[in-house]
Amino acid sequence: MHTVIFGAGAVGGYFGGKLAKAGYPVTFLVRERRYEQLKKRGLKVFSFHGDFIITPNLAMKSEEIVQPELVILSLKNYHLASALPQLDTLIHNGAKILPLLNGVQHIEFLTNRYGEENILGGLCLIESTLNKDGDIVHTSDMQDIVFGALNGNNSKFHFQVKEMLEQSSVGAALTDNIVREMWNKFIFITTFSGITSATRQPIGVAMNDDITKDLLTDFIQEIYQTAVSLEIPVAKDIVEIITRKIENLPPNMTSSMHRDLEKGQPLELEYLQGYVLEQASKRGKKVPVTRSIYSLLHPYKNGGTLK
Boundaries of every domain in the chain = 3-175, 180-300
- Tell me the average pLDDT across 260-275: 96
What's the pLDDT at 306? Answer: 66
CA 274/CA 298 separation, integer angstroms: 9
**184 Cβ partners below 8 Å, 6+ apart?**
234, 235, 238, 241, 242
**290 Cβ partners below 8 Å, 6+ apart?**
194, 219, 222, 223, 273, 276, 277, 280
What's the pLDDT at 307? Answer: 59
Same fold, 3-175 and 180-300: no
Q: Considering the chain, what percentage of its residues have pLDDT values greater than 90? A: 94
pLDDT band at 207 (very low <50, low <70, confident <90, very high): very high
- Tell me the average pLDDT across 123-132: 92
What's the pLDDT at 172? Answer: 97
What's the chain's average pLDDT? 95
Q: How many CB atoms lie within 10 A of CB 206?
A: 21
147: phi then psi, degrees, rounded to nearest 5 = -155, 175
**291 Cβ partners below 8 Å, 6+ apart?**
277
Query: What CATH architecture does domain 180-300 belong to?
Result: Orthogonal Bundle (1.10)
115: phi then psi, degrees, rounded to nearest 5 = 90, 140
Helix 238-247, helix 178-199: angle, nearest 10: 50
Contact 84, 113 (CB under 8 A): yes
Reference 117, options 96, 100, 94, 103; nearest CA is 96
pLDDT band at 133 (very low <50, low <70, confident <90, very high): very high
- Tell me the average pLDDT across 111-137: 95
217: phi then psi, degrees, rounded to nearest 5 = -60, -45
Give the three-class secondary structure for 151.
coil
> What are all long-range contacts of 141-144, with beta carbons under 8 Å and residues at least 24 apart?
141/48, 141/49, 142/171, 143/14, 143/15, 143/18, 143/47, 143/48, 143/49, 143/169, 143/170, 143/171, 144/170, 144/171, 144/172, 144/173
Q: How many helices (H) and strands (E) does the chain have?
A: 12, 10
Q: Where are the alpha helices (DSSP H) in the chain?
A: 12-21, 32-41, 80-92, 105-114, 156-167, 178-199, 203-207, 210-229, 238-247, 256-263, 273-282, 288-297
CA 279/CA 275 separation, integer angstroms: 6
Instruction: Look up the pTM and report it.
Output: 0.93
Contact 200, 261 (CB under 8 A): yes
CA 280/CA 277 separation, integer angstroms: 5
Looking at domain 3-175, its CATH class is alpha beta
113 pLDDT above the threshold of 90? yes
305 pLDDT above the threshold of 80? no
14-51 per-position pLDDT tens digit:
999 999 999 999 999 999 999 999 999 999 999 989 99
261 pLDDT above the threshold of 80? yes
CA gyration radius, the chain: 19
127 pLDDT above the threshold of 90? no
Amino acid at residue number 131: N
Name which of 97-101, 115-119, 233-237 the model is least confident about.
233-237
The CA-atom distances, in angstroms, between 282 and each of 205, 244, 279, 288 are 33, 30, 5, 15
- Tell me the average pLDDT across 55-62: 96
209-219 per-position pLDDT tens digit:
999 999 999 99
Q: How many CB atoms lie within 10 A of CB 215?
A: 20
Q: Considering the chain, what percentage of its residues have pLDDT values greater than 70? A: 99
77-111 per-position pLDDT tens digit:
999 999 999 999 999 999 999 999 999 999 999 99
